A = this chain, B = another copy of it.
Amino acid sequence: MERPRHQGMAKNTYMRWRLPLVCLLWEVAMIILFGVFVRFSPEADAHWKEEKREMNLTSDIENDFYFRYPSFQDVHVMIFVGFGFLMTFLKRYGFGAVGFNFLLAAFGIQWALLMQGWFHSFKSGKILIGVENLINADFCVGSVCIAFGAILGKSSPIQLLIMTLFQVTLFAVNEYILLNLLHVKDAGGSMTIHTFGAYFGLTVTRILYRPNLEQSKDKQGSVYHSDLFAMIGTLYLWMYWPSFNSAISEHGDAQHRAAINTYCSLAACVLTTVAFSSMLQKKGKLDMVHIQNATLAGGVAVGTSAEMMLTPYGSLIVGFICGIVSTVGYVYFTPFLESRLHIQDTCGIHNLHAIPGLIGGIVGAITAAAATEDVYGKEGLIKAFDFTGAYQTRTPSVQGGFQAAGIVVSLLMALAGGALVGAILKLPVWGDAAAENCFEDDIYWEVPEDEESDVYHMHNPDKPASP
Contact = CB atoms under 8 A, between A and B. Distances in A.
A19 B278 contact: yes
Interface stretch (A129-137, A196-204, A415-423): A129-137
A101 to B, nearest CB: 10
Interface stretch (A146-154, A168-176, A394-402, A454-462): A454-462
A99 B67 contact: no
A48 interface: yes
A3 B463 contact: yes
Task: Pick the 6 closest A-B CB pairs, nearest first.
Answer: A16-B284, A223-B450, A46-B380, A106-B270, A48-B253, A60-B252
Given A67-B60, A218-B453, A232-B232, A47 B377 contact: yes
B222 A110 contact: no
A130 B260 contact: yes
A223 B454 contact: yes
Interface in A231-250: 231-232, 235-236, 238-240, 242-243
Number of contact residues on A: which range applies?
35 or more
A43 B253 contact: yes
A167 B240 CA distance: 26
Given A238-B80, A272-B24, A450 B91 contact: yes
Given A239-B80, A312-B129, A49 B377 contact: yes
Contacts of A157: 274, 286
23 contacts: A14-B283, A14-B284, A16-B284, A17-B284, A23-B272, A30-B268, A31-B317, A34-B312, A38-B311, A39-B311, A48-B252, A88-B228, A91-B453, A94-B228, A103-B270, A106-B270, A130-B260, A223-B450, A224-B448, A285-B443, A286-B446, A287-B445, A451-B457
A337 interface: no
A259 B41 CA distance: 13
Given A61-B251, A312-B39, A288 B24 contact: no
A396 B222 CA distance: 58
A52 interface: yes
Given A38-B312, A281-B446, A285-B446, 20 more contacts: A15-B284, A19-B278, A23-B272, A27-B268, A27-B271, A31-B313, A40-B260, A44-B260, A46-B254, A48-B256, A76-B239, A80-B235, A99-B291, A106-B271, A222-B448, A225-B229, A285-B444, A285-B445, A449-B466, A451-B457
A308 to B, nearest CB: 8
A257 B2 contact: no
A221 B452 CA distance: 13
A464 interface: yes
A1 B465 CA distance: 11
A279 interface: yes
A63 B448 contact: no
A295 interface: yes
A376 interface: yes
A160 to B, nearest CB: 11
A45 interface: yes
A320 to B, nearest CB: 6
Interface string A74-89: 1011001100110010
A16 B235 contact: no
B110 A267 contact: yes
A326 to B, nearest CB: 15
A446 B61 contact: no
B377 A109 contact: no
A345 interface: no
Interface string A255-283: 11101100110111111101110110111
